[in-house]
């Protein structure tokens, strides 16, 4: 299992807010976004072809990416459907990727709709395993994680196909909180101790500020671990840009310094930002 709770895969990306990282994103909107971004991912994957390389995940082909996303959605759906709380009882069987790429769109549509149906209102606060190890109900954790998977890997697929990947600002903002909360979760400390220790500090502060009005995120590197909170404060460095660009920079899909691609500006100690990005990759073993 990866550090974010999904089945291990060498190029798995990422990560949430203490409490409910979806506070700024309506639950029904989150469900629709999982389906929609999975649909876009499937279209981009079909356009790119199964053997195409994924530039933002160099060890993957497009077939690997599609397999990972579909398998993860089916796997999580089963966890929620069965209300699994014991990590020793997690599903061991994985869904099989169709050999014919022409079947991928239908397969991914099925997996996305299955997991969204599993995330019913009744399931939202039901006892379900939460691999982050924080106080959130498991289903809410999984909704955040799977939306993150669909959006970020959707960008990967679009990039492989030479396409642009749109992300609504409110979705991107919710996923920034999701990303930061995972990096400061008990599971990250246990499974990614090298990263968790690297982002400790002596009070250094970073701020990410969305220019589209969707939010701001303040990070403090404390001796006992990094912590974050929503809102603006005086910081050693402030990274400003559209929420989509901030998310894709934090998840290492877009380069920090390519302002033409990101419309991001950095005010303050840019080395603090580089250090944060260099030490928060979501690679899995």
Residue ranges of domains in the chain, CATH in brackets: 27-170 (1.20.120.450), 187-278 (3.30.1050.10)
Q: What is the pLDDT of residue 175?
A: 96
CA distances from 129 to 13, 20, 132, 139, 193 (A): 20, 15, 9, 8, 22
Structure confidence at residue 21 (pLDDT): 46
pLDDT at 23: 42
Q: At CA 128, angle to CA 124 and CA 133, rounded to 5? A: 105
pTM exceeds 0.85 for this model: yes
174-208 b/e (C-beta count within 10 Å ≥ 16 → b): bbbbbbbbbbbbebbbebbeebbebbebeebbbbb
CA-CA distance, 270 to 274, in Å (whole number)? Answer: 6
User: Cβ(235)–Cβ(218) under 8 Å?
Assistant: yes
DSSP character for 103? G
Note the pLDDT of residue 235: 97
Q: Give the helix/strand (H/E) hosting 42.
A: helix 27-48
Contact 95, 75 (CB under 8 A): yes
* pLDDT (0 to 100) of residue 7: 63
| pLDDT tens-place values along the chain, 285 residues long | 443 456 644 343 433 333 444 445 789 999 999 999 999 999 999 999 999 999 999 999 999 999 999 999 999 999 999 999 999 999 999 999 999 999 999 999 999 999 999 999 999 999 999 998 888 899 999 999 999 999 999 999 999 999 999 999 999 999 999 999 999 999 999 999 999 999 999 999 999 999 998 899 999 999 999 999 999 999 999 999 999 999 999 999 999 988 888 899 999 999 999 999 999 987 532
Residues 107-121 as b/e (b if ≥16 CB within 10 A, e otherwise) read bbeebbbbbbebbee
pLDDT at 258: 86
Going by C-beta distance under 8 Å and a sequence separation of 6 or more, which residues neighbour residue 88? none
Phi/psi at 91 (nearest 5 deg)? Answer: -55, 140
**220, two tokens:** 């403090």
């Amino acid at each position: 299992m990866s550090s974010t709770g999904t089945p291990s895969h060498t190029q798995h990306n990422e990560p949430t807010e203490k409490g409910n990282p979806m506070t700024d994103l309506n639950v029904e909107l989150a469900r629709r976004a999982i389906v929609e971004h999975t649909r876009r991912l499937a279209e981009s994957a079909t356009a790119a072809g199964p053997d195409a390389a994924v530039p933002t995940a160099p060890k993957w082909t497009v077939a690997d990416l599609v397999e990972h996303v579909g398998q993860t959605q089916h796997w999580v759906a089963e966890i929620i459907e069965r209300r699994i709380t014991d990590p020793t009882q997690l599903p061991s069987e994985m869904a099989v990727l169709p050999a014919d790429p022409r079947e991928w769109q239908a397969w991914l549509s099925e997996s996305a709709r299955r997991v969204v149906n599993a995330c019913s209102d009744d399931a939202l606060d039901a006892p379900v395993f939460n691999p982050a190890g924080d106080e959130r109900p498991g289903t809410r954790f999984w909704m955040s994680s799977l939306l993150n998977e669909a959006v970020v890997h959707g960008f990967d697929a679009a990039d492989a196909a030479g396409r642009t990947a749109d992300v609504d600002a409110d979705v991107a903002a919710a996923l920034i909180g999701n990303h930061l909360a995972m990096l400061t979760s008990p599971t990250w400390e246990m499974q990614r101790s090298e990263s968790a220790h690297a982002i400790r500090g002596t009070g250094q502060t970073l701020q990410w500020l969305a220019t589209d009005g969707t939010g701001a995120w303040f990070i403090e590197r404390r001796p006992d671990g990094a912590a974050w909170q929503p809102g603006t404060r005086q910081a050693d460095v402030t990274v400003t840009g559209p929420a989509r660009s901030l998310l894709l920079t934090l998840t290492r899909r877009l380069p920090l310094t390519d302002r033409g691609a990101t419309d991001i500006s950095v005010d303050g100690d840019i080395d603090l930002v580089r250090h944060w990005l260099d030490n928060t990759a979501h690679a899995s073993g």
